[in-house]
Amino acid sequence: MKLSIPLLAITSVSAALTFLCSYFWDLTMSNSNQYLAVVSVLFLDGIFGMIAGSKREGFKTFRALHVLRSVVVWVTFLTVILIVEQGFTGSAWLSEVIIIPFIVFQLISALKNASMAGYIKAGLLNEILDRIDNHKGIRVKDEEPKE
């Protein structure tokens, strides 16, 4: 059986694409909890941010699309980090070192956005934030203005 050049090219390209797709499928499914965590935190922050922004200045589409852009960027970062972890032994700590601080900052941002949207009282948010870093001391309450 003699293969023509176009058929050989199509077969080669489809085999390469199949390999890439199956590689990324396996990478994603074996680390689905990490992908789910990143996407969930971004959407949580984004939804509260959109609600808070709508209350302040009305809904703005370009700000809502920022959430999708952030999801694509951070999923890409996570994918590259996981590829590096699989490629080099001893680098299994990379995803924790790079992604965990991002998740913590996004969760704090989500708390702030929820507070700005009116879902969490400002006093409760301050209490939560004060418990995060006790080593800084106790928050000084603002004195009431004297007349």
* Cβ contact 79:27 at 8 Å: yes
Q: Among 53-57, 61-65, 76-80, which range has the highest average pLDDT?
A: 76-80
Of all residues in the chain, the percent with pLDDT exceeding 70 is 88
Q: What are the residue boundaries of the structural domains of the chain, listed by start?
A: 1-30, 32-134
**pLDDT, tens digit (0-9, with 9 covering 90-100), for 130-145:** 776 665 566 666 555 5
d(CA 72, CA 39): 9
* Cβ contact 52:116 at 8 Å: yes
Q: What is the pLDDT of residue 133?
A: 63
The model's confidence at residue 58, banded by pLDDT at 50, 70 and 90, is confident
Q: Mapped to the 3 state alphabet, what secondary structure does 2-63 carry?
A: CCCHHHHHHHHHHHHHHHHHHHHHHHHHHCHHHHHHHHHHHHHHHHHHHHHHHHHHCCCHHH
d(CA 84, CA 82): 5
d(CA 113, CA 52): 6
For the question of whether the overall pTM of this predicted structure is more than 0.75, the answer is: no
Average pLDDT over the chain, rounded to whole? 85
Q: What is the pLDDT of residue 145?
A: 54
